[in-house]
Structures are given as C-alpha cells and as structure tokens.
Amino acid sequence: MNYATPAGLPVVDAMTPPVLVISGPLTRDEVSGPCDALRALLDGGGTGGVVVCDVGGLGPPGLAAVNLLARLQLTARRAGGRIRLRDPSAALCALLDLVGLRFEMEGQPEQREPPLGVQEAVEPGDPAV
C-alpha cells in the first residue's frame, strides 16, 4: 500500500491567506489586472475571505496606487471578503489616511485588541480592586 504525504500541513495551509503581490510604478490603466487576480483568489475558496496584498514593491505612492487599493478593497467586499496590506511604506499609509481610506495592515493588532505588552499604570495610593 502506497501513501503519499501532502506537501504541507493541511490545517496551516487552510489558515494561511493567499498573497497578491503588487509592484509598481502604477498607471491608471493597470487596475483591471490586479482586480481580476484578487477576484480569482477569493472565488478559489479556502482563503477564509482574506487576501494579503503585498505593497512593499509599489514604489513611491501616488493617486494611481490609492485608486488601485480602493478598487481592490471594493472588489474584495463585493466578493464577500477583505484585503490586508503587507509592508506598506509610511508615505503610503499617510496618503491613505489623508484620503480617508482605512485598511487592515498585516502585523498590527485588530481595533478591539489591545497591543501586546501594554499594561495599565497603577498610581501609589490607589485602592486594590
């Protein structure tokens, strides 16, 4: 009897979201390709509804990058999923904040979770609870 072991850990592979790498510089006309790729990843199933967009190679951010990310977010929401940005530059984060777009960033705690290692300060003389 022959039995071939799977390539990876099935539970871990099912929990790891796929990655869509976006490299630049971008122009306005290069929006449909990444949106189609994102839709294919979300329709493929097994993603848990999350796709990580690696924007580390995007180059200097501009309005074309903001347009692309906004359209990717809209595409993901229409497909019932969401995107998470990996390795955004500080300039891209500032530009997204300036235009009012909020994205989930990889490696940052969720909004409802306090960051690890943060503890409340106790003042001397405070009564014990």
Query: From first to last of its 129 residues, what are the pLDDT tens digits of the chain?
Result: 344 444 554 444 456 788 888 887 777 777 778 888 888 888 876 557 888 988 888 878 888 889 999 999 999 999 888 999 998 999 999 999 999 999 988 876 555 555 566 566 667 776 766
Please report the sign of the dihedral spanned by the C-alpha atoms of residue 93, residue 80, residue 39, residue 31: negative
Residue 83 to residue 109: CA distance in whole angstroms = 15
pTM for the structure as a whole: 0.69
Q: What would the two tokens of residue 59 be?
A: 């180059």
**What's the pLDDT at 117?**
62
Residue 32, amino acid: S
Helix or strand (DSSP H, E) at 14: helix 10-15
Residue 115 to residue 11: CA distance in whole angstroms = 26
- The class of domain 10-105 in CATH terms is alpha beta
**In the chain, what is the straight-line distance between the N-terminal and C-terminal CA atoms, in Å?**
64
**What's the pLDDT at 21?**
86
User: Where do the structural domains in the chain lie, given as residue ranges?
Assistant: 10-105
